[in-house]
Copies of this chain bind each other. A is one copy, B any other.
Amino acid sequence: MAAALSFARCIVRPGLLPLCSRVWGSGARERAGLPPAQRRAFSNNKMLVELDEGSGVATVKFKSPPVNSLSLDFLTELSIGLEKLENNRGCRAVIFTSAIPKIFSAGLDITEMCGKSTEHYAEFWRAVQNIWLRLYGSNMVTVAAINGSSPAGSCLLALSCDYRIMADNPKFVIGLNESQLGIVAPFWFKDTFVNVVGHRIAERSLQLGSLHSAPEALQLGIVDELVPEEKLQDKAAAVVAQWLALPDHARQITKSMMRKSVLDRLLTHQEEDVQNFVGFISKESIQKSLRMYMEMLKKRKG
C-alpha cells in the first residue's frame, strides 16, 4: 500500500486525485459508498496515464516532446507506471499511444549512450531491460496504438505488446534500425522480433536496419492491422475488449507459456548483457558513430 501511495504521489496531479488510494485500489470508491469513478486521468512529466475503472483499461499516452525519446527518466516513469498498473487488480489492459503528432516514440535516447560514464550506461541499460521484462511479461492485455513513427527501442515496445495497430499512413515507419546507427540490437530485441515475424524477416530487417512504412510493416507482420489515424483509439479499445472477453487466468498462463523461454533467456544473462552493452557502447568507434549521428540529426533540424 505504501508503494501504491508513493506511486500515486509520483504521477498524480494534486486536485485531480484527492484520494490517492482510490486511484489504484480496486473498487475503493465503491467500498466507501461513493459512485464508481468511470474515468480518471493522471499525468506526470513524460506520459499521461488514464484508467477507466469501469472497463479496467488504462491508456498510457507518451507526451515527452519533442519526440518521446526513451530517456532514463522516461523509462523510469514508464516502469513505475507499469508496475503500479500491473499490481492494480482493477486494471486488466493497457493501450500505449502518443500525444505527439507523427511520432510514437523516437526510441532509446542517444544522449544517454554518448559521452557518459560507464556507470550511467549500465544504469540506462538496466532500465531498458527492466521495461522489456515488465512489458513482454505483463499479465495485462497490452496493445500498441502506433500513431506515428516507431523506430528502434520504440519498435521494441510495440513488439512486446499483445497486439499492434498502426495508423494507416505510409509516412509513418517502424523497425529495429539499430544497425543503421552502427549499433546492434541485443539478443532479446532479436528474440522478440523473431517471435513476431519469424527468423527470415527478422534476419534481413535487422541486418539492413530497415524502417518499414506502415503498409510494409503490415505485410511483414510487424503490425497486426492498419486503420485510419482518426479511428486508431476506437480500434484499440475494441481489440482490448475482444481480448478481455477471455478469462484472465487462461489468457495469462497461455501468454506466459508463449514468452517464458525468451524472458528467461534475458533473466539468465541479464548482468552479462549489461556488461556487453557497456563494453560495446564505450568503444571510441561507437561513440564516434553516435556523435556523427547526433550531428546529422541536429543539421537536419537546423
List the interface of chain A (C-beta within 8 A of B): 162-163, 178-185, 187, 190, 194-200, 202-204, 206-209, 221, 224, 242-243, 246-247, 249-251, 253-255, 257-259, 285, 289
Are A250 and B195 touching (Cβ within 8 A)? no
Given A195-B203, A196-B200: A183 and B250 within 8 A (CB)? yes
Are A179 and B289 touching (Cβ within 8 A)? no
Are B247 and A207 touching (Cβ within 8 A)? no
How long is the Cα–Cα vector from A100 to B206 in the complex, in angstroms?
34
Chain B nearest CB: distance from A35 CB in Å? 30
Quick one: copies of this chain in the complex? Answer: 3
5 A-B pairs with least C-beta separation: A179-B250, A182-B247, A203-B258, A195-B199, A184-B253
**Given A182-B249, A196-B200, A208-B243, 16 more pairs with CB closer than 8 A:** A179-B254, A180-B246, A181-B250, A184-B250, A187-B257, A190-B257, A194-B199, A195-B200, A199-B258, A200-B221, A202-B258, A204-B224, A207-B251, A207-B254, A207-B255, A208-B242
